[in-house]
Homo-oligomer: A and B are copies of this chain.
Amino acid sequence: MSTFTAINLVARPDSGPISAEIFEVVHKPIPSAGPGQILVKQTHMSLDPAMVGWMSPDTESYIPPVGLGDVMRSSGIGEVVESNHPDFTVGERVMGMMGWTEYSLSSGEGLRKVQPGLDAEMVLSVFALPGLTATQGLFGCGHPKTGETIVVSGAAGSVGSIVGQLAKAEGLTVIGVAGTAEKCDWIVNDLGFDGAINYKTDDIDAKLTMLAPNGVDIYFENTGGPIQQHVFDHINAHGRVIVCGMISDYTAETPSAGPNWIPIIKKRITIQGFTMPDHLAQLPELIARLTPYVMQGKIKHRSHILNGLESAIDGLNLLLTGGNQGKLIVKL
Contact = CB atoms under 8 A, between A and B. Distances in A.
Contact of A237 (B62, B237, B243): B62
A266 B62 CA distance: 6
Interface in A45-98: 53, 58, 60-62
A249 B268 contact: no
Nearest to A274: B268
A243 B268 CA distance: 9
Nearest to A53: B266
A205 to B, nearest CB: 15
B244 A255 contact: no
Contacts of A259: 257-258
A62 to B, nearest CB: 6
Interface residues of A, number: 37
Contacts of A119: none
B260 A249 contact: yes
Contact of A271 (B245, B249, B257, B270): B270
Contacts of A267: 60, 62, 273
A233 to B, nearest CB: 10
A307 B193 CA distance: 60
A231 to B, nearest CB: 12
Contact of A243 (B224, B255, B261): B261
A78 to B, nearest CB: 29
With a 10 A CB-CB cut-off, give which of A58, A245, A256, A272 has the most chain B CB atoms: A272
A331 B200 CA distance: 57
Contacts of A265: 243-246, 273-275
A50 to B, nearest CB: 9
A262 B274 contact: no
A290 to B, nearest CB: 21
A278 interface: yes
Interface of A: 53, 58, 60-62, 221, 224, 228, 237, 243-246, 249-250, 255-275, 278
Given A246-B261, A269-B272, 11 more contacts: A61-B266, A62-B267, A221-B261, A244-B265, A245-B265, A246-B265, A249-B262, A258-B258, A261-B273, A263-B273, A268-B278
